[in-house]
Amino acid sequence: MEREAAAKRIAELSEQLEHHNHLYYVEARPVISDQDFDLLMKELEALEAKWPDLASPNSPSQRVGGDITKEFNTVPHRWPMLSLSNSYNSEEVAEFVERIAKEYGAVTFTLELKYDGVAISLTYEHGELVRGLTRGDGEKGDDITANVRTVRSIPLRLRGDPPAELEARGEILMGRKEFEKLNEQREEDGEELFANPRNTTAGTLKLQDPKVVAKRGLQNYIYSLQTEPLPSRSHYGNIMYCRELGFRTPDPAKRFIEQADSLEGIMAYIAHWDHARHELDIAIDGVVIKVDNIDLQEEMGLRSKSPRWAIAYKFQAEQKFTRLHGVEFHVGRTGAVTPVALLDPVELAGTTVKRASIHNADQIAKLDLHIGDMVQVEKGGEIIPKITAVDVSRRPSGALPLTYPARCPACGTPLVRDEGVAQHYCPNEHACPPQIVRRIEHFVARKAMDIDGLGGETVEALFQAGLIHNVADLYDLQQSQLLNLGKGWGERSTQLIIDGIAASKAIPFERVLFALGIRHVGETVAKKIARAVGNMERLASMSVVELQEIDEVGTVVATSIRDFFNADGNRHIVERLRAAGVNFAVDPSDEISQSDLLKGLTFVVSGVFETFTRDGIKLAIEENGGKVSGSISRKTSFVVAGAGMGPAKKAKAEELGVKVIDEVELRRMIEA
């Protein structure tokens, strides 16, 4: 085939593939089989491989992901990307509607679902996608265009006759089915499960390999349009125009978007979706109410962080009663024993709940739980089920009170409870099977030694096979031993494990210290200690008094560290790790430049952020002299709130008068 013919055929194939892609992912009415689609794609890929200069950045072949992105550049938004003011009750919605009616008379509102995903800005020039930005700080965001191109409901080329430049904004999210499928695969691979679709979507969009992003099955819904001039002075009209251009928008036929001109109409829409949201495959956490008239929007203007013409109503956590028919007591890596309620199955927030957390013995006593009780269960943050109340009037006659065990349910050792600590724990750390397994799982985890190929199931299998009894045993493993385990332990997977163990010897000292699983020494404290002491030898020789001189180390942490190194079993494991070549000292070249801009201030970080990961925002605080705490108290200086901050933390901050700031304000404090 000649070059001219190849160019023509590439254009034809690209147009056909985008058409079929739109029919399948946007309109949900495919007209060709997957096999026929794949044949067209293979032909296109072959032609682009032969004539790479004819391949467009917006070729349908880019849907499967391109080259790895080394970094995400920060790019200013042409129009600021603001967040919305949130409301949790009908009274606040009524105040919003009545204020507008009083000032502006009769107004039509557009009502939309509030998608629980990640905001995205999509810029098109002459109908071609040129840029995809995260919200960032509202003024600038990260350029994740390579990842955006893999989202099949985002058009790479617009239909019809679009303006020379436009910006469409929407929400990228992950469906429940894709999320469950992803977690099923991770469980099979022995990897840590993801918590929820929203956080998984945020993490996926920041991955540096677009090919991995392409496999996650992300979706997109457009909810606003920016261009000059706008095609309509109605917000609803602009969304319908986006639909004509080929975007996936809220579907009026499914009531994903509709209009209302009264408070009654708005509340009816909210009531409908408060009930019907659990029937959707996508997660929504509320309803967005917008003034429809663009002229009126411009007249009403903006606050510093949100528009005056829109408000988001957030749904309350769903609660239901079900029967408590038993309890299991789980032993964690530190020996902490956690009670888990066994429930009659109940549908809650779109999933079937059979188990719920009870936390500790104090919670059991507070709720006065009896076997057979009807208990109220809710999903905190739509994620973790927990018991919040008991209907004593429905308690069966002769029901036995739920008692906390005196001995470890796994090894029979008498449980202990330190003064001022909520949980009981098993002190038999070197012979209690679940503690050993959980401790090894913690050691190999991503934030610790990050050993590829090892997860919950593989660690359990190695322990049951007698190949490992502690973390040091990992460094004695041979590939031949793994291959002898039989089915599922092939040449490739076992080599991945051996290579991962070898690579872990270069992990920085602060992460090695965290990986050891010393009680009360979390990720942040481990960093502080590692930087203060420099090496494991010095740490092992320090007294409680010396340890307490380290920032963030109090009596409890210092005593725990001293107890760890006083135990013969722990000292033996540490020596074996040293002999294996694990990194036991801080690399001087890794020292991080510090500032004192946040010195004396304590921060609590909650929610999901646009320009930081959770770890990144904590590191930024620490690098500038601040402290990060896990709970709000009177000593807390600021709460840094991201999307999805729990209402309980918000209420606690208000109760104690702690100022709540967002990541933009934190950046300003640091930049100052």
Starting at the edge strand found earlier in the chain, the sheet holding 659-661 runs: 627-629, 602-606, 638-641, 659-661
**Segment holding 22, helix H or strand E:** helix 3-25
Residue 646 tokens read as 């729990």
Strand 118-125 and strand 128-134: the pairing is antiparallel
Sign of CA dihedral 49, 52, 54, 59: positive
* Cβ–Cβ < 8 Å for 264, 97: no
Euclidean distance between CA atoms 475 and 462, whole angstroms: 13
- Backbone conformation region of residue 648, classed left if phi is above 0, alpha if psi is from -120 to 50, else beta: alpha
Give the pairing of strands 337-348 and 118-125: unpaired
Burial of 592 (0-12, 13-18, 19+ CB in 10 A): exposed
Please name the residue ranges forming H helices in 301-421.
361-367
Residue 229, preceding bond cis, omega within 30 degrees?
Answer: yes
Element (H, E) at 661: strand 659-661
Question: How far apart are the C-alpha atoms of 102 and 110, rounded to whole Å?
Answer: 19
C-alpha closest to that of 172 among 125, 135, 124: 135
The answer to whether residue 254 is catalytic is: no
Q: What is the Cα–Cα distance from 286 to 342, expressed in whole angstroms?
A: 30
Q: Write a three-state SS string for 260-316.
A: ECCHHHHHHHHHHHHHHHHHCCCCEEEEEEEECEHHHHHHHCECCCCECCEEEEECC
Kindly give the pairing relationship between strand 284-291 and strand 109-115. antiparallel
**What does the buried/exposed string (b/e) look like for 603-630 if buried means 16 or more CB atoms within 10 Å of the residue's CB?**
bbbbbbbbbbeeeebbbbbbebebbbbe
Which one of the listed residues 114, 140, 527, 627 is annotated catalytic?
114
- Number of Cβ within 10 Å of residue 10's Cβ equals 20
The residue type found at 399 is: A
Alpha-helical runs (H) found in 504-641:
509-515, 523-533, 536-541, 544-548, 555-566, 568-580, 614-623
Residue position matching structure tokens 């009680």:
519
Taking the alpha carbons of 350, 117, 290, 243 in that order, is the dihedral positive or negative? Answer: negative
- Grouping H, G, I as helix, E, B as strand and the rest as coil, residue 142 is strand
**How many DSSP H helices and E strands does the chain contain?**
24, 20
Q: How far apart are the first and last CA of the chain?
A: 62
Residue type, 500: G
Query: What positions carry a catalytic annotation?
Result: 114
